[in-house]
Chains A and B, each alone.
Chain A
Amino acid sequence: KAGVTQTPRYLIKTRGQQVTLSCSPISGHRSVSWYQQTPGQGLQFLFEYFSETQRNKGNFPGRFSGRQFSNSRSEMNVSTLELGDSALYLCASSGLIYNEQFFGPGTRLTVL
């Protein structure tokens, strides 16, 4: 069974640009969550989607948005990038609500 895949794996952008990250969950999984990991703030929850609906949202500014498609693939978008957005962005999928999550390898975003 293929795991969670994230593209791209590495990304370099400049301040003010926008970026879109993609996540393909494990086949059959309908829940996708996104997290930001930085050395200073640790792991922070961004949002969760289930069957194309946002179920939960973390405490991030509106520049961070996401969506989920009918095939459960998800994208997150960050507009007007700031230096502080440099982070590892992790996507995780799960098959059942409250069940264990399976994480992708992450997208390393660097904002210059």
Chain B
Amino acid sequence: ELKVEQNPLFLSMQEGKNYTIYCNYSTTSDRLYWYRQDPGKSLESLFVLLSNGAVKQEGRLMASLDTKARLSTLHITAAVHDLSATYFCAVEQLIWGAGTKLIIKP
């Protein structure tokens, strides 16, 4: 059974700090997606990672994919309050992680 595990599930951090969200999955795949969801809102695509070693960056967020380790990471650099949201990873857009609720305090 394909499983996707995100950790941590909840993260409270101070502005200006760095942190990483991890997404482990249980089957071979080279298609990994990251999304953001604000409270009461729909999902917004952040990154599409389609090959081993793929790295993408947008502002303070950087995502990477290691298909051999079956691991993707979402790294937050110098967090700001506007990044507070729930972040989801999804393997092949079929199996989704439980989401990481990120709260960034001023």
| Chain A interfacial positions (CB closer than 8 Å to B) | 33, 35, 42-45, 56, 58, 90, 92, 98-106
Given A33-B93, A42-B96, A58-B94, A104 contacting B48 (CB threshold 8 A): no
- Choose from B50, B93, B98, B99 the contact partner of A101 (Cβ within 8 Å): B93
- Choose from A43, A45, A100, A104 the contact partner of B45 (Cβ within 8 Å): A100
Which residues in A have their C-beta under 8 angstroms from that of B31?
A: 98
| Chain B interfacial positions (CB closer than 8 Å to A) | 31, 33, 35, 41-45, 48, 50, 88, 90, 93-99
Which residues in B have their C-beta under 8 angstroms from that of A56?
A: 94
Quote the shortest CB–CB distance from A57 to chain B (angstroms): 10
Additional A-B contacts beyond A35-B96, A42-B98, A99-B48 (11; CB < 8 A): A33-B93, A42-B99, A56-B94, A90-B42, A90-B43, A101-B33, A103-B35, A103-B45, A105-B41, A105-B42, A106-B42
User: How many angstroms from the CA of A99 to the CA of B35 in the assembled complex?
Assistant: 13
- Choose from B41, B44, B96, B98 the contact partner of A45 (Cβ within 8 Å): B96
Which residues in A have their C-beta under 8 angstroms from that of B98?
A: 42
Can you list 17 A-B pairs with a CB-CB distance of less than 8 A? A42-B96, A43-B90, A43-B96, A43-B99, A45-B93, A45-B95, A56-B94, A90-B43, A92-B43, A98-B31, A98-B48, A99-B48, A101-B33, A103-B43, A103-B44, A103-B45, A105-B42
Chain A minimum-CB-distance residue to B97: A42
User: How many angstroms from the CA of A101 to the CA of B94 in the assembled complex?
Assistant: 12
Chain A minimum-CB-distance residue to B47: A100
Chain B minimum-CB-distance residue to A100: B45
Quote the shortest CB–CB distance from A87 to chain B (angstroms): 14
Which residues in A have their C-beta under 8 angstroms from that of B44?
A: 103
B94 adjacent to A45 (CB under 8 Å): yes
Centre residue among A43, A58, A90 by max chain B CB count within 10 A: A43
Which residues in A have their C-beta under 8 angstroms from that of B42?
A: 90, 103-106
A44 adjacent to B96 (CB under 8 Å): yes
